[in-house]
Structure 1
Amino acid sequence: MAHPHLCLLGGFGFAGGAATAPAFSRKARAMVAYLALQSGHSQSREKLAALLWGGNSEAQARMNLRQALSAIKKAMDASDGGRFLTDGDSITLNLDNLDFDVARFQALAANSAPEDLEQALVVYRGDLLDGFGLKEEPFEDWLRVERERLRAMAVAALDKLVVHYCTTNDPASCVRAATRLLAMEPLREDIHRALMRAYAVQGRLNLALRQYENCRAALQRELNLQPEPETRHLYEDLRTRRMTPQAASRIAASASPSQTPPPSPARTGERPAFRAEPMRPATHYVKSAGSNIAYQVTGDGPVDMIYVPGWVSNLDFAWSSPRLAHVLQRLGSFSRLIRMDKRGTGLSDRNVGLPTLEERMEDVRAVLDAVGSKRTVLFGSSEGGPMCMLFAATYPERTAALVLNGAYASGRWSKDYPWAKTSEQVEEDLAVVEREWGEPADMSNAAPSLMNDSFEREWFAAYLRNSASPADAIALWRWGTEIDVRALLPAIHVPTLIVQTAGDRWVKPEEGRYLATHIEGAKYIELAGCDHVIWGENSDRLVDEIQTFVTGALPAAPGEGILVSVLSLEIAGPPSGVGADLIVRYAEEIRGELLAAEGRQIRRSASGFFAVFQRPTRSIQCAIAIRHRLRHSGLDVRSAVHTGECQERGDDFTGIAIELSSRLLDHARPGEIIASRTVRDLVVGSGLIFEEHGELEASGLPGSLQLFSVSKPGV
């Protein structure tokens, strides 16, 4: 009896051990596919109804959902394959007893052994739900992202096999892997060259020459470009030489002309060696707060440096740009270069909702822990800059230096920060992004020097498409404009380099100068030109400045100043019969919530305490949790949170952040949580609700501090 199986690669297929394949409707197939790829994770009925019946009324969508679920459950029960678990409004599809091709493919493709990669490609019969589609935009968006993700895994497996078969002198297997890879990515010149060399080593000169013509035609048709000089030189060499074994060996080694040609096969008795271009580095993953964060490591320099890009990115696709690849290779020439795709983008987990700045900071820490980097140079460009600033202020002991390029302190216009765009201008920009998504990119702001370069425009558009869906890209752009880290700048005490382009149209030079003025001891360099991206016209000058800065003698780890979020909390008057020392009486409840939020109590009184946290969201969540716990005992809690620099003194902390948190508490009524604007700006994307609550005037502040009342949705 056949084992029950579900196949989604190359099309939809389901069959059980004791029954013929059921005839699912299109919506039912879509639901099975969606739930299968979320296997083990519950999904709400509301979400499923909106995903597949978004154009119907809520009642009709719910009814359609019930009917589809009933049909699927009946078919699966009859087939002994898969089962639904329901818990109130949530639904989970359990596939423990089902052979699921996507799960098998992912497990095999994650390995590096050639035999596992070959088997993975046997399982990968085609794209996810190939040829399948629904006129439901939310489902189509999800399907497009998942297709691209799995397709990228298949491409990566083929990449590894091409290199493996080149280096192990197996041209026949290389031909097979390269041919399939080119069917998926026909514009990969490095693979065209690998295939030409493999044919040449086999003595199939006519096929090698024909492959060049295939390459040239594809580039001309799709990009209106000619092959690269290296490809043309290889073609000329193949065309003009007779393919003796010695000539084959010379051509095979042409990818590395600086190396000594290998001995003649006639003398050694060995098959001639050949190799492809250096492959893209391996992509690794680390878990951070439940999300998979993708990262790559290149270079072996004496200094660890992590590069955090702006907006969206794709680790693999970055190597497809000769200009960007050149920058990355140069950075890796003097450092161990660590790169990551931020959560929600590129090869990291998508569909994770909007992040907070501190979540992304913790993602960086998780990557650094995974690669064993104890002290690292942080290199942040554009929107990646504010997160690097937060990291440098929060973890100074782990920050060797801070490098900022085209970075900003605030994403929205205000009277005291007039260089950023207004809300109206931001929405105008987003409308253009949405309208032109997928078209050759308009480089007039990102890199004016490249705006007439058709290859760069095509590549950048493809890079963006492979980095995020249109909806996610727009949401992340808007999120990036809501960041404001101005209050953190005085808390940064690490060596800092700020590089700014004089004519940058996205981040004005005044914004770079603002950073230099407010970060103690920062070095500011302004380059000529207008390009915002790091691979623009001044890329070599940018790398020169970074290399000079980070390879010099970096100061020792910084001293006692540290950025923390301070929670001050007070329990309102006790009900009759309750002792006066409330903190002692409810110590266990409070200690449990502090531990859960990774907080540290530093001071206490009979009815209140101070605690410090490394993450502002955790401090607010802790205040909400304590308020909820003590409310059941008839007690009202008022609390306040501020983020700022403090000095650690043994078991205590001192500094203006402690004093301001105490002052904020005076503005809180029983049951209320008050937060400063600094906190609000740091937790953009957390889902917390902030309502204006006046201002605080205090000595030591350059102006007034805006206050907000904090709550959670539905609380």
Structure 2
Amino acid sequence: MAHLSLLGGFDFADDAAAAPVFGRKTRAMVAYLALQAGHSHSREKLAALLWGSNGEPQARMNLRQALSMIRKAMPSAKGGRFLADGDTITLNLDDVDVDVARFEALAARSTPHDLEQAMAVYRGDLLDGFGLKEEPFEDWLRVERERLRAKAVVVLEKLVVTYSEVDNHASCVEVATRLLTWEPLREDVHRMLMQAFAAQGRVNLALKQYERCRDGLQRQLHLQPERETKELYDQLRSRRAAPSVSAPPASEAQSTRPPTHYVKSAGSNIAYQVTGNGPVDVIYVPGWVSNLDLAWESPRLAHVLHRLGRFCRLIRIDKRGTGLSDRTAGVSTLEERMEDVRAVLDAVGSQRTVLFGSSEGGNMCMLFAATYPERTAGLVLNGAFARGIWSPDYPWAKTREQMEAELAIIERDWGEPADLSNAAPSLMKDAFEKEWFAAFLRNSASPADAISLWRWSTEIDVRSILPAIHVPTLIVHRTGDRWVMVEEGRYLARHIAGARYVELAGDDHVIWGHDCDRLIDEIQAFVAGALPVGPDERVLVTVLCAEIVESRAELAHADHGPLLAHWHNNEIGVELDLAEGLEIRRSANSFLAVFHRPTRAVQCAFAIRNRMEPFGLVLRAAVHIGECEKHGDDFTGIAIDLASVMLGQALPGEIIASRIVRDLAAGSGLSFEERGQTTVGDATESLQFYSVAWSAP
């Protein structure tokens, strides 16, 4: 069966086929028609809704192309995908599970189970993060978002009251916290959350919740909390001052393993678990390989996870290709893994999150923090590194020969606690932990996959993006870490502005090793102060600068003005939509666009170049990644200047890219050949660039 997800973003998956790629306006049309299933729409109305600024003939042609794309991407097993009657069309979704319809059906029911299921379906707002520069569509989308959000609020209100009445304090905390992210001035919800915290024996959190309520009312409405709220606060303060007579918490060993959930991301199922119910969201991205379920079998790691869950809502994932997530063929790119994390955060309704990355997981978290600062409340790096292999200007990493020797030993010893002597020397005499670690690795990846993932991590180099990280950052490193040298942690601290750096004694690389409580203490102190900082307007983007040139002698004197206008208005726009790019500048024969994902930008350049060739038009393009300032839908910054200068170095028909693009494209199938270097203005450092080759699948 096919599944169409519109809540929290757009995703279409068919159990019987590979995930298709939709352009932005095609996605918009599918969403519009899906929310009005069974209703007919005139072609004129649809064309004006999405292409009104193009003029009627062009809009009609765009509509025909979009309808054709939908038919190909969403084939119907029950007749045609569209029901046509004269000039009107209706989208037939009888064989498609649409999450909006499922949410509305569940939300209309009254049992707690149905309401819980409704909120599980509501991963986020309708087409969250999606927008078009078409006012009619934006108006419709705004109304629909508000309508569905209002239904979700009603569901959460019912659940909060129900959980409060039956003394289900943990669920009450989780639901009330989610409701307050949408309606932060609801004093009744603040009170129920305070009472739930207090019933759990977490009086300090209850008092902090009052302070959040009070501060929000003063800041937004210039009001003081109601009398009932103040009285509850005074009661809780008195309780904290009295001797505690509550029962001790249940043993961590008696806790049950949390359920595993899945979210679809670019065709792959990503496994995640959520535990804890603190006021701050933290997502933990592990290094190398992992297994969500097996993690709970280690008393030491379970202890760490329980401690984290006491002060945050802890979200954990198995990265694609590992653990309980899809074991995809080949190696994914860093940006694909970043988008997997974003999909998980959307699924759990986390809008601002503290990213906690260990080892190679830290690289992805750094890229996410630079790319999506508005969604990053803070960044925690433990045993992390900037570059995966030795180089003269990064001499602390292992050489390729050392790495290959280690991999040979790991492959030989797979099935045993491979390399535990380096990962956690303090646990080598713990027979249970050794046996568990061996099982953990076996269930996290196959030997070949584990070696491939390790080798892929050596191709990572995120040094160029470190100056673009502008979120609160904590870097923790063990002085004797054998997997990642302490100098690598110090390097990160020097190059991430404002980062707090903490060195801890010990040799263990893993988070559950010796003196793990000290690590969690540092994280807890950091997380407590992470949320108040607002997002920065500086973001990391991939810039595509392209120019159309005429190279065939027989076309030298032709008038290509209309043809170039056609390409700008239609063909280039289609490819940018497919690659999720945003065009920000345009001239008669060139354009500038920005992307979140570098491989998408490069592939988009190739797609446009290849589509132009039959028309005698030749494209050259340059791709660079750098920090820009965001002003609405416009971007400015040195990254754009560098891409423009690089473009002048590209030959007709050539796609060139900077070194940072090469460093972040490991596993993408792109190949890079060094071409030269250039500088901008008075810059003291040169920019190395490469000619890119790609064989499209």
Change beyond 3 A, Cα 1:301–1:591: same
Query: Matches of 1:510 and 1:553 in 2, distance apart?
Result: 26
The answer to whether 1:484 aligns with 2:461 is yes
Structure 1 residue 538, shift from structure 2 partner: 2.2
Q: 1:578 aligns with which of 535, 552, 559?
A: 559
Partner of 1:614: 596
Q: 1:645 aligns with which of 592, 611, 627?
A: 627
Whichever residue aligns with residue 689 of structure 1, its letter is S
Q: 1:374 aligns with which of 351, 356, 376?
A: 351
Residues 343, 352 of structure 1: 8 Å contact kept: no
Query: Matches of 2:436 and 2:329 in 1, distance apart?
Result: 26
Query: Matches of 2:604 and 2:665 in 1, distance apart?
Result: 14
Q: 2:263 aligns with which of 278, 283, 286?
A: 286
Q: 2:396 aligns with which of 393, 416, 419?
A: 419
Partner of 1:708: 690
Query: Matches of 2:529 and 2:625 in 1, distance apart?
Result: 32
Residues 461, 664 of structure 2: 8 Å contact kept: yes
Partner of 1:220: none
After TM superposition, list the pairs within 5 Å mapping 1:227-626 onto structure 2. Answer: 277-552=254-529, 554-573=531-550, 575=555, 576-580=557-561, 583-587=564-568, 588-626=570-608
- What is the CA deviation profile of residues 149-206 of structure 1, one whole-angstrom value per residue up to 9, with x for unaligned ones? xxxxxxxxxxxxxxxxxxxxxxxxxxxxxxxxxxxxxxxxxxxxxxxxxxxxxxxxxx
Change beyond 3 A, Cα 1:706–1:318: same
Residues 352, 374 of structure 2: 8 Å contact kept: yes
- What is the CA deviation profile of residues 449-480 of structure 1, one whole-angstrom value per residue up to 9, with x for unaligned ones? 11222221111111000000000000000001
Q: 1:668 aligns with which of 614, 638, 650?
A: 650
Query: Matches of 2:425 and 2:448 in 1, distance apart?
Result: 25
Residues 561, 646 of structure 1: 8 Å contact kept: yes
Query: Matches of 2:367 and 2:404 in 1, distance apart?
Result: 26
Structure 1 residue 557, shift from structure 2 partner: 1.9
Task: Give secondary structure in 2 for the equivalent of 1:586.
Answer: helix
Task: Give secondary structure in 1 for the equivalent of 2:689.
Answer: strand
Partner of 2:665: 683
Task: Give secondary structure in 1 for the equivalent of 2:511.
Answer: coil
Whichever residue aligns with residue 678 of structure 1, its letter is I
Partner of 2:99: none
Whichever residue aligns with residue 674 of structure 2, its letter is E
Whichever residue aligns with residue 589 of structure 2, its letter is S
Structure 1 residue 639, shift from structure 2 partner: 0.1
Change beyond 3 A, Cα 1:470–1:377: same
Structure 1 residue 695, shift from structure 2 partner: 2.0
Whichever residue aligns with residue 579 of structure 1, its letter is H
Residues 384, 489 of structure 2: 8 Å contact kept: yes
Partner of 1:658: 640
- Computing the radius of gyration from Cα coordinates, the structure with the larger value is 1
Range with greater deviation from structure 2 (443-452 or 626-635): 443-452
Task: Give secondary structure in 1 for the equivalent of 2:408.
Answer: helix
Query: Matches of 1:659 and 1:506 in 2, distance apart?
Result: 39
- What is the CA deviation profile of residues 529-550 of structure 1, one whole-angstrom value per residue up to 9, with x for unaligned ones? 1110000102100000000011
Residues 489, 515 of structure 1: 8 Å contact kept: yes
Residues 320, 328 of structure 2: 8 Å contact kept: no
Partner of 1:110: none
Task: Give secondary structure in 1 for the equivalent of 2:481.
Answer: coil
Change beyond 3 A, Cα 1:449–1:593: same
Q: Size of the alignment, in residue pairs? A: 454
Change beyond 3 A, Cα 1:688–1:299: same
- What is the CA deviation profile of residues 320-363 of structure 1, one whole-angstrom value per residue up to 9, with x for unaligned ones? 00000000000000000000000000000003320000000000
TM-score by length of 1: 0.61
Query: Matches of 1:494 and 1:479 in 2, distance apart?
Result: 27
Query: Matches of 1:375 and 1:340 in 2, distance apart?
Result: 17
Task: Give secondary structure in 2 for the equivalent of 1:345.
Answer: coil
Residues 299, 329 of structure 1: 8 Å contact kept: yes
Whichever residue aligns with residue 439 of structure 1, its letter is E
Residues 274, 315 of structure 2: 8 Å contact kept: yes
Whichever residue aligns with residue 447 of structure 1, its letter is A
Whichever residue aligns with residue 490 of structure 2, its letter is R
- What is the CA deviation profile of residues 115-151 of structure 1, one whole-angstrom value per residue up to 9, with x for unaligned ones? xxxxxxxxxxxxxxxxxxxxxxxxxxxxxxxxxxxxx
After TM superposition, list the pairs within 5 Å mapping 1:133-152 onto structure 2. Answer: none
Whichever residue aligns with residue 477 of structure 2, its letter is Q
Whichever residue aligns with residue 481 of structure 2, its letter is D
Partner of 2:52: none
Whichever residue aligns with residue 617 of structure 1, its letter is T
Residues 565, 614 of structure 1: 8 Å contact kept: yes
Structure 1 residue 39, shift from structure 2 partner: 8.2
Task: Give secondary structure in 2 for the equivalent of 1:572.
Answer: strand
Identity %: 68
Query: Matches of 2:591 and 2:643 in 1, distance apart?
Result: 11
Change beyond 3 A, Cα 1:702–1:513: farther
Q: Which has the higher contact order (CA 8 A, sep 6+)?
A: 2
Structure 1 residue 713, shift from structure 2 partner: 2.7
Residues 475, 493 of structure 2: 8 Å contact kept: yes
Q: 2:676 aligns with which of 691, 694, 711?
A: 694
Whichever residue aligns with residue 675 of structure 2, its letter is H
Task: Give secondary structure in 1 for the equivalent of 2:615.
Answer: coil
Change beyond 3 A, Cα 1:442–1:652: closer
Structure 1 residue 558, shift from structure 2 partner: 2.1
Task: Give secondary structure in 2 for the equivalent of 1:319.
Answer: helix
Superposition CA RMSD, Å: 2.4
Query: Matches of 1:579 and 1:440 in 2, distance apart?
Result: 66
Task: Give secondary structure in 1 for the equivalent of 2:301.
Answer: helix
- What is the CA deviation profile of residues 666-713 of structure 1, one whole-angstrom value per residue up to 9, with x for unaligned ones? 111011000001001111101111111122234575633221111113
**Is there any run of 5+ residues in structure 1 with no aligned partner, and where?**
1-37, 43-93, 95-113, 115-255, 261-274
Change beyond 3 A, Cα 1:278–1:596: same
Whichever residue aligns with residue 432 of structure 2, its letter is F
Partner of 1:20: none
Whichever residue aligns with residue 498 of structure 1, its letter is I
Residues 646, 655 of structure 1: 8 Å contact kept: yes
Structure 1 residue 41, shift from structure 2 partner: 5.4
Query: Matches of 1:671 and 1:258 in 2, distance apart?
Result: 70
Residues 581, 606 of structure 1: 8 Å contact kept: no
